[in-house]
Structure 1
Amino acid sequence: MHKLWVRITFSFLLLMSLLLLVSGFFIAELMKNTYYQIKEKQLAQTAHLVLNAVEMDKTGLQAEDLQNKVIALSSQVQSRLTVINKNGEVLADTEDDPAKMENHAKRPEIQQVLKEHLSSGLSIRYSDTLGYSMMYVAIPIHENNQLAGVMRVSLSIENIEHAIQKLWISIALVLFVAFLLTGLIGMRLAKDISVPIEEMIIVSEKLKEKDYSARVKMKSKGELGQLANAINVLASSLKNQMDKLHENEHRLTGVLANMMSGVLLVNTEGQILLANRAMGKMLGENPRAFSNKHHMEVGRSKELSNLIDHCLKTGHEKRKEVHFYYPKERTVDAHIAPFVRENGEVSGIIVVLHDVTDIRRLEKMRSDFVANVSHELKTPITSLKGFAETLLDGAMEDEELCRNFLTIIYKESDRLHRLIKDILYLSSIEHHGIPLTIEKVNVAEAVLSTAQTIKEGAAKKNLHLNLPEKSDIWIEGEKDRIQQIVLNLLSNAISYTPEGGEISVNIIEQEKDVKLLISDTGIGIAQKELPRIFERFYRVDKARSRSSGGTGLGLAIVKHLVDSQNGKIEVKSVEGVGTTFIVTLPKKQHNDI
């Protein structure tokens, strides 16, 4: 594609060439006609002069020496003279014998005078006799106020044609020079106009391609300068707006990416336009793969799809708990609302999913905790009330019976006291009511000193206790908490290991932490029970737990004690074979603990 200035210059030159050609032809024709008119007047004047000279002797056309007179006059006027009567017969001629000449009645200039009765006749034509073009001018001859003939004066226009040719050459040169000058001026003007416009076009193309740094650098005046300034202002405004849009987009992307709630944007056709990372995690797929898919393809929940379709049809927001079974079972709080434009038209649906699985699980655990606490408290309180009523009814009179009942009341009250004490202690740990006192602790020494307190219980059941050797394995933590962890785990191992079994305690020192392994050859724990063993009041063997005097809070306390020291606890068990608890404690505690 040619540049703009070339097209403007070409169009300008084409227009100017047409204008100059038309002007040249007009001027040449005007000058030619003017030249012919001047010659016509000159010939007419010559004809009148000759006619007056011929008629001076009053003989007129009947003069015998008319031929000689005309020839004599022709030397003075340098033109061919011809006298013709009203019948068209040639009476006298300066260049030929009148007697030999044909009748001139049909000649145009003669007819204009004789038949049309004009004051003069004019004709320009090629003369076969002479071999070149001639101009003929004829005037009437009157005798006694009657038209008697015609005086004709003719002149060769060969010189006139040469003069006209020179005129054409002059005009052509002038027009060519004018064409060159106007071409140069037009090209300059075209560049002055087109170069800024072309730069503006380039800047506009860059803006279209999202290069908002492009600016019109050429300084122009007038309307082009105003247009260039307007484009620069527009580019600056676009850059600012796009920067704000990108910033808002980044903020929105960051918010959506880090939201714990799943967000889904669905258009009116049910196709997914946007999904954040949390939504992909809930649905078990990469959220980028959701684009342009129908919500039923990725949701895998008929209940959720029905809610979206209902909102699309009615335009009313809905909120309901929905259950997902893939990739794992979970409960979500689904909030579905229409996305409405300024004109009130619904352009899509926004779906926000809150995972309430843990909340519902905690609510269930809280409900179970209340039920368990009530159940645990009910048993000793019922016992206390029953035996107290029995004593009040007269059993106090029997000293032996009274002592037995009081012993039972004491044991139940002690059990009740331990239960309440464990509950309060667990609550204090959960709410960080007991601050962690960081000190240097020798793990091996803490384990061995704690094992001394349970040796008697192990010996009663004939259990073989394997303890680690004395060593210096130091960590940062709280000795009392470490000993309580060991005590609870060993007590559980003794309670759930049959007579003649074996309990082992091992310590493994690693680069950054220490692992404490407590194993037994007890009854073991079923795999389905393992995820819940650290819940409060959760018992694997409820009958044996109560008979052993346990409160069901031991492992829950252990879990919180380990967590309070930035550790972790794991359990591996095979039912009927045994159980191993693995406690991992860091060697260094963080300063914010």
Structure 2
Amino acid sequence: MIIFHSRLFLKILGSYVILLLAVLLIVDVIMARRIQSNHVSHERNRLETSAVVLSQDLLRMEKQGPALQSWVQQYGDRTGFRITLIDPDGKVLADNQHDPTQMGNHANRPEIQEAWRTGTGSSTRFSRTLGTNELYLAYRVPENQSPGLVLRLALPLQQISAGFRTAQRQLIFISLFPFLLALGLGYRLTRSLTQRIASLQEFSENIAQGHLHARVKEVAADELGHLARSLNTTADAMQRFIDELRDEKNRVEAILDGVRAGILATDPEGRVTLMNPALGRFLQVDPQENLGKKVLEIIRSSELKSIL
């Protein structure tokens, strides 16, 4: 439909703050999810890089229980990661945040299975050991003549979400500027539109009261501008028509005033619609004051009444 392409429709549409808020909300949600995804991906890459570096140090040390536990504790404190070492059977050899002897077999953990297959595995899931949601990165550390170990690093999602919430607050703050700008533009457009409609209303009231010289001051090229110019054209035509009627009336009155014979016109109900001065003098009445009266009410002579 044409209305959907009109400038007036677009101006009205742009002034709705609710629509603006809805658009900004959708954009913020989409951007927030993308930021969160990028943030998690960044943390996963950081875990993988750290796992590669730590694996080089792990290859140079003795693979004994106390030594492994001391190693994961030392690097866990340095990096802030949860570090776990798992053997090919799924047994936990060391963990810096929980007693490895109290931990169940990890052979069925998705990131561990993927690491044994491809060398690196990751997952985001709930940790039954710690009771929190964690981001896991498992890295297979091969050794000569043996499958080696799996080095697993983990970060709590709550810690990752803290950084994401900071970015989300920044996104909301940045969104305030375009929102306020669009709100200001919408206010100006709405105010301009209502003022133009008010001028059209004032014009119609003036015409209804008989002020035919009233005109709408409108120069815009949109639908309201076209309407205003059409109304002005109509008012001009009405003014010319009224002027022509007035001139014609004046000519008729001048002719009737010059006629010596009496002239009388009535409607179907016998009411006077026209009386020239000659007849008024003859009847001794004012022609203008007796318009609309019945003839018998005007005539004073009983003889004339009897004739009529």
2:283 corresponding residue in structure 1: none
Correspondence 1:22 to 2:26: yes
Letter in 1 for 2:156: S
Deviation at 1:118, TM superposition (A): 4.6
2:115 corresponding residue in structure 1: 113
2:105 corresponding residue in structure 1: 103
CA distance in 2, matches of 1:240, 1:132: 87
2:159 corresponding residue in structure 1: 159
1:31 corresponding residue in structure 2: 35
2:265 corresponding residue in structure 1: 277
Q: Per-residue displacement from partner, 1:251-285 (whole Å, max 9, x unpaired)?
A: 789999x9x9xxxxxxxxxxxxxxx93685xxxx5
- Specify every segment of 5 or more residues in structure 1 that has no aligned partner in the other structure, as ranges: 261-275, 289-593
CA distance in 2, matches of 1:45, 1:200: 71
Q: Per-residue displacement from partner, 1:109-151 (whole Å, max 9, x unpaired)?
A: 224434xx45533333444544544321112344469865532
Deviation at 1:41, TM superposition (A): 0.6
SS at the partner of 1:277?
Answer: strand
Deviation at 1:82, TM superposition (A): 0.8
2:237 corresponding residue in structure 1: 237
2:186 corresponding residue in structure 1: 186
* Maintained 8 Å contact 1:79/1:153: yes
CA distance in 1, matches of 2:173, 2:119: 40
Q: Structure 1 residues 16, 252: closer, same or farther in 2, change over 3 A? A: farther
* Maintained 8 Å contact 2:15/2:187: no
CA distance in 2, matches of 1:50, 1:249: 110
Q: Per-residue displacement from partner, 1:295-323 (whole Å, max 9, x unpaired)?
A: xxxxxxxxxxxxxxxxxxxxxxxxxxxxx
Q: Per-residue displacement from partner, 1:50-94 (whole Å, max 9, x unpaired)?
A: 22221236x7xx655433333343344331211123332212222
Letter in 2 for 1:191: R
Which TM-score applies when normalising by structure 2? 0.66
Correspondence 1:286 to 2:290: no
Q: Structure 1 residues 238, 77: closer, same or farther in 2, change over 3 A? A: same
CA RMSD of aligned residues (A): 4.1
Matches within 5 A, 1:141-540: 141-143=141-143, 148-204=148-204, 206-207=206-207, 211-217=211-217, 220-223=219-222, 228-245=228-245, 277=265, 286=270
CA distance in 2, matches of 1:193, 1:8: 8
* Maintained 8 Å contact 1:54/1:70: no
Which TM-score applies when normalising by structure 1? 0.37
1:85 corresponding residue in structure 2: 87
Q: Per-residue displacement from partner, 1:32-52 (whole Å, max 9, x unpaired)?
A: 222211111111111111222
Q: Per-residue displacement from partner, 1:178-204 (whole Å, max 9, x unpaired)?
A: 433422221012222331233124424
Higher Rg of the two aligned structures: 1
- Specify every segment of 5 or more residues in structure 2 that has no aligned partner in the other structure, as ranges: 1-7, 273-308
Q: Structure 1 residues 75, 196: closer, same or farther in 2, change over 3 A? A: same
Letter in 1 for 2:31: I
2:69 corresponding residue in structure 1: 67
2:49 corresponding residue in structure 1: 45
SS at the partner of 1:23?
Answer: helix
CA distance in 2, matches of 1:168, 1:186: 26
Letter in 1 for 2:108: K
Deviation at 1:177, TM superposition (A): 4.9
Deviation at 1:233, TM superposition (A): 3.5
SS at the partner of 1:180?
Answer: helix
2:301 corresponding residue in structure 1: none
2:278 corresponding residue in structure 1: none
* Maintained 8 Å contact 2:72/2:83: yes
* Maintained 8 Å contact 1:9/1:183: no
SS at the partner of 1:244?
Answer: helix
CA distance in 2, matches of 1:80, 1:51: 15
Aligned length: 258
Q: Structure 1 residues 87, 209: closer, same or farther in 2, change over 3 A? A: farther
Q: Structure 1 residues 107, 239: closer, same or farther in 2, change over 3 A? A: farther
* Maintained 8 Å contact 1:9/1:190: no
* Maintained 8 Å contact 1:196/1:220: no
* Maintained 8 Å contact 2:59/2:143: no
SS at the partner of 1:286?
Answer: coil
* Maintained 8 Å contact 1:83/1:93: yes
* Maintained 8 Å contact 1:82/1:152: yes
Deviation at 1:23, TM superposition (A): 1.8
SS at the partner of 2:122?
Answer: strand
1:550 corresponding residue in structure 2: none
CA distance in 2, matches of 1:205, 1:138: 81
CA distance in 2, matches of 1:199, 1:239: 20
CA distance in 2, matches of 1:141, 1:147: 8
CA distance in 2, matches of 1:203, 1:181: 34
Letter in 2 for 1:164: F
SS at the partner of 1:43?
Answer: helix
